[in-house]
Amino acid sequence: MNDDVYLDNNATTMVDPAVVDEMLPYFTLQFGNPSSIHSFGNTVGRSLKKARQQVQDLLGAEHDSEIIFTACGTEADSTAIMSALKAQPDRKEIITTVVEHPAVLSLCEYLEKDGYTVHWLKVDGKGRLDLDVYARLLEERADHIAVVSVMWANNETGTIFPVEKMATMAVDAGVMFHTDAVQAVGKIPMNLADSDIDMLSLSGHKLHAPKGVGVLYLRRGTRFRPLLRGGHQERGRRAGTENVASIIGLGKACELASQKMEYENVEVKAMRDRLQEGILSAVTHCFPTGDVENRLPNTCNIAFEYIEGEAILMLLNKAGIAASSGSACTSGSLEPSHVMMAMGIPYTAAHGTIRFSLSCYNTMAEIERVIEAVPPIVAQLRKLSPYWGENGPIEDPAKLFAPTYA
Ligand code: PLP
């Protein structure tokens, strides 16, 4: 532990010490293979069942057999989409959105090249979907669509999509519905038993469990084809010896997330709101991106006009503050993120977006420290910016940017 402030929890989270405690015996004394029929295996098998129930409880799923452990969120996403295509070979179309995480986006782009048709739902300036467009698409193409895959919450802006409503619309049209809920699980309450969602992906390392473990929720009765074939683990739906310790950790993390749900939505949200208000009131020419009225309680993404997000990040890092300039996968690239571009954020602002993502481990004192650190960093960078003059932005800097990206 050090004094640095970690505000990059949408990239990954610290494993909760109580989760580590729960996991430790499964590296040593409890080392049995849960598939073995002797006592070593049986004890571990019972612990896996408990973890499955803990996940079931957090999701509000009907039955623990609906929980399939995977190696990560990406695997759960791929399994869901590929299963829907394999199980319905006569359906060659997919509906998804332009703002998905690469785990879904890249797969759909690949499938497009492979001959499938992907209907990409666009978003408006606040990152919201147009449900009329979606309804029309379902009406016109329902018989051809294998699956709708729409993220529950966006990893960059925290914007929440109305997936429960969208699932009902899909299921009414006879179409399977999957949601990538990697960012939403543990941050907002869920009750899958009362929804029409057929499949849902989650990832351990976003909710204080270890990296390298995830879950595919598969509603009972949903047609399914495994991605990995081999042993009979996970009832034959995901072959491969289970990552026992991490699964135990994920179960514990889900139990803790249920207990902390209110704290997340009251205290963490209050810290996020204070952070945003503190920055917006001290810095000119910056604005929050996404649907600020309808977003995850821990996330705020602020666009600082006329400066580079990467430069802000470097100076923040020097000041002992860790944030991100988009999703973990896009930071490092000089192109603005696909999410900002999809919302039509101008280049002069899209290049300067910073995502602050909090967790229950942050404190108000840390937030005040960030609020103090940001304005001088922005001022320092704007002094160096060719688009910033003595009295603020120089005349129409958008024109200056335009030729580079024409
Ligand atoms: N989906 C979303 C929305 C994410 O934010 C991430 C990770 O950043 C993933 C999927 C991928 O999860 P994993 O890292 O477990 O593969």
Q: Which tokens go with 106? A: 């890249």
Band of pLDDT at residue 347, cut at 50, 70 and 90: confident
pLDDT at residue 79 greater than cutoff 80:
yes
Res 386: pLDDT: 86
Question: How far, in Å, is the centroid of ligand 1 from the Cα of 205?
Answer: 9
Residue (of 66, 355, 57, 332) closest to 183 by Cα position? 355
Choosing from 201, 203, 296 the residue with most ligand 1 atoms within 8 A of its CB, the one to mutate for a pocket test is 203
Res 142: pLDDT: 97
Average pLDDT, the chain: 94
pLDDT at residue 230 greater than cutoff 60:
yes
What distance in Å separates the CA atoms of residue 328 and residue 321, rounded to the nearest whole number? Answer: 16
Res 327: pLDDT: 39
Res 397: pLDDT: 54
Res 398: pLDDT: 57
What distance in Å separates the CA atoms of residue 403 and residue 236, rounded to the nearest whole number? Answer: 55
Question: How far, in Å, is the centroid of ligand 1 from the Cα of 73?
Answer: 5
Res 387: pLDDT: 85
What distance in Å separates the CA atoms of residue 104 and residue 82, rounded to the nearest whole number? Answer: 11
Band of pLDDT at residue 2, cut at 50, 70 and 90: confident
What distance in Å separates the CA atoms of residue 314 and residue 381, rounded to the nearest whole number? Answer: 11
Which residue's CA lies nearest to atom 13 of ligand 1?
A: 73
Find the range with the poorest average confidence among 205-214, 219-228, 284-293, 330-339.
Answer: 330-339
CA of 154, closest atom in ligand 1: 3
- For 199-220, what is the mean pLDDT? 98
Res 396: pLDDT: 63
CA of 11, closest atom in ligand 1: 8
Choosing from 10, 15, 70, 74 the residue with most ligand 1 atoms within 8 A of its CB, the one to mutate for a pocket test is 74
* More confidently predicted of 330 and 46: 46
Band of pLDDT at residue 333, cut at 50, 70 and 90: low
Residue (of 73, 5, 98) closest to 356 by Cα position? 5
- For 366-395, what is the mean pLDDT? 93
Residues with CB under 6 A from ligand 1: 72-74, 101, 103, 151, 155, 180, 182-183, 203, 214, 327-328
Question: How far, in Å, is the centroid of ligand 1 from the Cα of 166?
Answer: 21
Find the range with the poorest average confidence among 61-65, 300-304, 331-335.
Answer: 331-335
- Percent over 90 (pLDDT), the chain: 90
3 state SS of 189:
coil
Band of pLDDT at residue 334, cut at 50, 70 and 90: low
HSE value, Cβ hemisphere, 13 Å, CA-based, for 392:
6
- For 239-245, what is the mean pLDDT? 97
What distance in Å separates the CA atoms of residue 364 and residue 180, rounded to the nearest whole number? Answer: 31
Cα distance between the two ends of the chain: 46
pLDDT at residue 62 greater than cutoff 80:
yes
Burial of 235 from C-beta contacts in 10 A (0-12 / 13-18 / 19+): exposed
Question: Going by DSSP bridges, is the β-strand pair 321-322/93-97 parallel, antiparallel, or unpaired?
Answer: unpaired
pLDDT at residue 61 greater than cutoff 90:
yes
pLDDT at residue 399 greater than cutoff 80:
no
- For 335-349, what is the mean pLDDT? 92
Question: How far, in Å, is the centroid of ligand 1 from the Cα of 320?
Answer: 25
Catalytic positions, written as ranges: 329
pLDDT at residue 405 greater than cutoff 50:
no
Question: How far, in Å, is the centroid of ligand 1 from the Cα of 11?
Answer: 8
Rounded to the nearest 10 degrees, how much is the dihedral formed by the CA atoms of 70, 110, 197, 189? 60
- For 100-106, what is the mean pLDDT? 98
CA of 204, closest atom in ligand 1: 15
Band of pLDDT at residue 406, cut at 50, 70 and 90: very low
Is the whole model's pTM more than 0.75, yes or no? yes
Band of pLDDT at residue 300, cut at 50, 70 and 90: very high
Domains in the chain: ranges and CATH: 5-10+260-400 (3.90.1150.10), 17-257 (3.40.640.10)
CA of 151, closest atom in ligand 1: 3
- For 84-109, what is the mean pLDDT? 98
